[in-house]
Amino acid sequence: MQKTLITSLFLFASLIDSRSYIDYESPYHPVVGKHGMVVSQNYLSSDIGIEILNKGGNAIDAAVAVGFSLAVTLPRAGNLGGGGFMLVYIKEKDEIFYIDYRSKSPLNANLENIFDIVSPDGKKFEVVPKNFDINKFDVLDTGYKASAVPGTVAGLLDAHAYFGKLELKEVLAPAIAQAAAGINVTYDLHKAIESTPRLYDDLESKRIYFKNDTAIKENSILKLPDLANTLSLISQYGKDGFYKGETAQKIIKAMNENGGLMDLEDFSQYKAHIRSPISTEYRGHKVFTAGPPSGGGITLLTALNILSFFELGKYKSNSIATYHLFSEALRRGHNNRSSEVGDPDFYNVPVDKLLSKERAKEFVKSIKYNKASKATSIKPLRVINESRDTTHYSIIDSEGNAVSNTYTLGASFGSGVTIPGTGILMNNQMNNLMYRNGNVNVEGRRVSPGNRFSPGKRPMSTMAPVMIFNQDNELSLITGSPGGSYIPGAILRVVTGVIDFDLSIGDATMLPRVHKDWPYKGIDYEKTLSSDIVKGLKSMGHKTSSNKTMGSTQSIHIVDGVRYGYADLRRPNASASLQKTN
């Protein structure tokens, strides 16, 4: 009888174990491990990051390799001809560094040569006069004049020089081989090329990305030998391999032949900056992100400061109340960036005032629990439409060093221009500076004084790489997203999902997202948002409109020493790759 009882107990225990294994709590499964991890928007690039970690490189080496690899695997967003923001955490020093490698306007650029306008009295314009066609100055997104001086190469190489372990040649070797051998064209890449007319309009881009006047076919091989050569020059000569010598001369020659505004002085003078990240405390967690010229960081931290006054945890993550408060906080975050954020080398950005508790309390007073606010009730401290085609990646190594990096070409494939003989796609970030005067309360960010055009200035951006430390001061979340003005909302949804609702990183990532800007009225929402919630928001006075997916967060959540990596399902081919050890 005792034997029978033991057998029964064994079978019962086995049944419980089997049931707990089979009954998964969520359909959104992260990659789980205790060693190095890379989460990016392309699985081939994520794997290259792991390859570098396996060679003894640290998270920064891997981040540099991934950054250059994405120029091959994700050419519409990964880039050499753009710029971005990076957070670097060095575990041994317990310190975070913010690298600003945002692209900047050419030194000899002015309103006359950018827009081909002539002053009647011969004087230079400080802003576009109202007797000109104002609307044409809100779109500067194609061709050579749309490009700002690229910062990606300087930013990635400075990160490597300051914090990397491996030799640069070893770090860049996989990306060089990848560009030379070519990649398999996915359905997503084929459709992205097909839907980008500006590529077809540029002779060099057309030569590379089209065959017989048709976008290169799915499952064909895209080889980029010119890009491989450009990467080889960078691996040999460092920054001089891009900002001087053969590559720089090819870029300037193309600029001169096509009405571009850059010259060799722009390249020789470009520098990435190491700045202090900005931060706030949210429910005992310390949240770090990029400061100006990032406006996305200001937006995100402002929204968190506002939400800290509300007990979100008592609501469900998918309740009407949660989405209402979330939208109101996000709207005020966008208000905070709409006027006073710009390049800190040109404009005294009042970061402390924007992120002060007093400012948050002022915003909170204007929020009602059951009614949408009016734009006029939200006053600036004293909106240009950004592209969604940015990309983000998050990396951690076995030692605990970490990188959160977001960079962009601006629009999909940037300006559409590829510099002949280099494989370099150029950005269209001149479109993100403001060129005219106006009332920011009515016209939003398109007339922002903080982001007004000046030669040599870095445009404001909503890119906002994020790192969060828990109550024990341990790194607990690395995240970020592409998405233009949708970036802060995408990140905010993940952060509140993890902290306020104790969700797994997979569940927090896949929560339906909303976006509410300022001074505009409507809430944009993803189609996965419940129709009941949409009706509830409408009943509160929110104007709602269904939108495409918002952002693509690439995240690593660390819980009790275990890393959970999750690549957002909103965009194809993203991947969390894990370092395996014997």
Which residues are the active-site residues? Answer: 390
Q: Cα(119)–Cα(112) distance, rounded to whole angstroms?
A: 8
Amino acid, single-letter form, for residue 60: I
**Which amino acid is it at 316?**
K
| Rounded CA separation 548/552 (Å) | 12
Side-chain-facing half-sphere of 353: CA atoms under 13 Å = 10
Rounded Cα distance, 463 and 392, in Å: 9
Count CB-CB contacts under 10 A for residue 190: 19
Amino acid identity of 112?
E
Q: How many CA atoms lie within 13 A of 83 on its CB side?
A: 29
User: How many CB atoms within 10 Å of residue 265?
Assistant: 13
Nearest to 372 by CA among 546, 539, 547: 539
Token pair of 180 as six digits: 């030379």
Tell me the helices (H) and strands (E) count for the chain, helix number first: 21, 23
Residue of 536, 533, 521 whose CA lies nearest to 373: 521
Q: What is the 3-state secondary structure (H, E, C) of 29-88?
A: CCEEECCCEEEECCHHHHHHHHHHHHCCCCHHHHHHHHHHHHHHHCCCCCCCECEEEEEE
Token output for 551:
């952002």
The pair phi, psi for residue 166, each rounded to 5°, is -80, 165
Residue 311 tokens, joined: 């007990």
Place of tokens 């690229």: 150
Cβ atoms 572, 187 nearer than 8 A: yes
